[in-house]
Amino acid sequence: MFRKLLILTLFLSSLLANAQGLIWRTDINDAVTVSSEQRKPLFIFFTGQGVGQKFQNEIFATRDFEDWARKNVVLVKLDLSDPTVSEVIKEQTLRLKNAFGVERIPQVCITEVYLRKGKTSFNKLGLMSDNLSGIKSWISECNSIMYKE
């Protein structure tokens, strides 16, 4: 009986581990490599200290977003107020924010990445804010940005 309970516990814990959160990269260089390998655009979430939790609670914490993100994008979270990152990384994040035209945070930039001859170039597809109503319309807007015709 104990053995069956132990096996059941291990099985359930492995299911929960697989179902838990998405992988949010915090190193843009790592994200660029993964994006290039997987041929998926970057989904860069610019955030900072004291920023509201609307994205996290109403968008990123949903099963719909998790399913969509796994299939479509490489997630990147760049925190402009993270005290654990070096000054070089902070400056790099600020340059990216400005290059993509992010004027307020939190905001998401969806961009394609190209690696050619050791150089990285970006093709900004669009910016997303937290002002849409509901996860379905938010994902629909992301798709329209990513799959313009």
For 46, the domain range is: 22-146
**Does residue 7 fall inside a structural domain?**
no
Residue 14 lies in a domain: no
Q: Is residue 3 part of a domain?
A: no
CATH value at residue 34: 3.40.30.10
In a domain, 42, yes or no: yes
More confident residue, 9 or 65: 65
For the segment 8-59, what is each residue's pLDDT rounded down to a tens digit? Answer: 344 444 333 344 589 999 999 999 999 999 999 999 999 988 777 777 888 8
User: Where residue 3 falls among pLDDT bands split at 50, 70, 90?
Assistant: low
Does pLDDT of 127 surpass 50? yes
16 domain residue, yes or no: no
| Contact predicate 76/113, CB 8 Å | no
Q: For the chain, how many structural domains are there in total?
A: 1
pLDDT digits (tens, 9 = 90+) for 91-124: 999 999 999 999 988 999 999 999 888 899 999 9
10 three-class SS: helix
* Kind of pairing between the strands at 42-47 and 74-79: parallel
- Is residue 80 a part of any domain in this protein? yes
Whether the CB-CB separation of 36 and 113 falls below 8 Å is answered with: yes
